[in-house]
Amino acid sequence: MIRRMKRALKIAGLVVVVLVVAVVAVLAATFMGRQSIPDGAEVNGFRIVKDGVVSVAVIPVSENEVALVDAGNDKNATAILAELSRRHLGAGAVKAILITHGHPDHTGGAGVFPNAQVISLETEKPLVEGRVGAKGPLTRLMPVSPTGITVAKTVNDGDTLTLGTHQVRVFAVPGHTQGSAAYLVDDVLFMGDAADAKSDATVIGSPWIFSDSQSQDRQSLVALDARLARDSVPVKEMVFSHSGVLANGREPLDAFAASAR
Ligand SMILES: [Zn+2]
């Protein structure tokens, strides 16, 4: 009996070790080869602020007001507040937050900014507010609870917004999450987690382990590339939440689309 129990324990232990090694291997493959986040880089006058493994963009909209793309991972928004303070501004200066998607490393600091209108795709509102969970292999394991964030304005694919002197065009890129959005602000395309940039300046799709549907994400990127080409949308730079900036226009997305087709 004891011998049998010992054997069962040994097998269970082995299974756990194999699972842990598999998860570590998948995570290592996910993060390896990605570009790093250039903290403090200016892209078209928008500042990239690094918050741990994720980035936020600060977009000046008037002399004393800014908008953000995403709100970072840090619930205290320390890095964003430091950037505001560098501009002699406080938390009240943030007028709007364009949420690329509802994963907590993109919405974490949203509650710090009392005057910010939180904006997301209509389809992403329940995830941003914590009323539903994400559906990726790993993200589905995260507990579902209200985030305390209210999406005050929902947008849809094809919508345009004005932020101060900046024009924003909204693109739905479902796959990483169901309501993932890419935002073109002037001619800078914020991709959120729908894609990543590798250190060889190529584009890859969102990682399987964190994505609701990797194949849908691929299709969305191909469709986005085709739309940008069809409508002759000017794209100068692409910004990726976890992997920095590519400054050679739509070309890397075009190359990705060509290989994914
Ligand atoms: Zn994500």
pLDDT by residue (tens digit) across 234-261? 999 999 999 999 999 999 999 999 998 7
How many angstroms is it from 192 CA to the middle of ligand 1?
7
Question: What is the reported pLDDT for 5?
Answer: 75
Q: Which residue has the higher pLDDT, 83 or 13?
A: 83
Query: Which residues 6+ apart lie within 8 Å of 212 measured at CB?
Result: 134, 135, 136, 139, 174, 175, 176, 177, 178
pLDDT digits (tens, 9 = 90+) for 4-18: 777 878 877 777 776
Question: What is the reported pLDDT for 138?
Answer: 84
How many angstroms is it from 128 CA to the middle of ligand 1?
11
- Work out the pLDDT band at 42, boundaries 50, 70, 90: very high
Instruction: Write out the H or E segment, with its range, that includes residue 162.
Output: strand 160-163
How many angstroms is it from 210 CA to the middle of ligand 1?
6
pLDDT digits (tens, 9 = 90+) for 114-130: 999 999 999 999 999 99
Cα–Cα distance measured from residue 172 to residue 139, given in angstroms and rounded to the nearest whole number: 20
How many angstroms is it from 82 CA to the middle of ligand 1?
24
Q: Which residue has the higher pLDDT, 75 or 21?
A: 75
Q: Which amino acid is at 3?
A: R
How many angstroms is it from 242 CA to the middle of ligand 1?
9
How many angstroms is it from 114 CA to the middle of ligand 1?
24
* Residue indicated by tokens 């739905």: 172
How many angstroms is it from 63 CA to the middle of ligand 1?
31
**Which of the residue ranges 6-20, 21-35, 73-87 would you say has the lowest mean pLDDT?**
21-35
Q: Which of 171, 191, 166 has the alpha carbon at shortest distance from 67?
A: 166
Cα–Cα distance measured from residue 172 to residue 152, given in angstroms and rounded to the nearest whole number: 18
pLDDT digits (tens, 9 = 90+) for 133-145: 888 888 888 888 9
Residue 27 has pLDDT above 70, yes or no: no
- Work out the pLDDT band at 21, boundaries 50, 70, 90: low
| Paired tokens of 112 | 């710090």
Residue 3 has pLDDT above 90, yes or no: no
How many angstroms is it from 11 CA to the middle of ligand 1?
35
pTM score, two decimals? 0.90
Residue 23 has pLDDT above 70, yes or no: no
Question: What is the reported pLDDT for 102?
Answer: 97
How many angstroms is it from 176 CA to the middle of ligand 1?
7
How many angstroms is it from 130 CA to the middle of ligand 1?
14
Give helix 214-230 / helix 251-260 axis angle, nearest 10°.
130
What average pLDDT does range 93-110 have in this prediction? 97
How many angstroms is it from 132 CA to the middle of ligand 1?
15
Q: Which of 81, 78, 54, 53 has the alpha carbon at shortest distance from 66?
A: 81
Question: What is the reported pLDDT for 261?
Answer: 74
What average pLDDT does range 68-82 have in this prediction? 98
How many angstroms is it from 113 CA to the middle of ligand 1?
21
Cα–Cα distance measured from residue 198 to residue 225, given in angstroms and rounded to the nearest whole number: 18
Count of alpha carbons within 13 angstroms of residue 252, beta-carbon side:
24
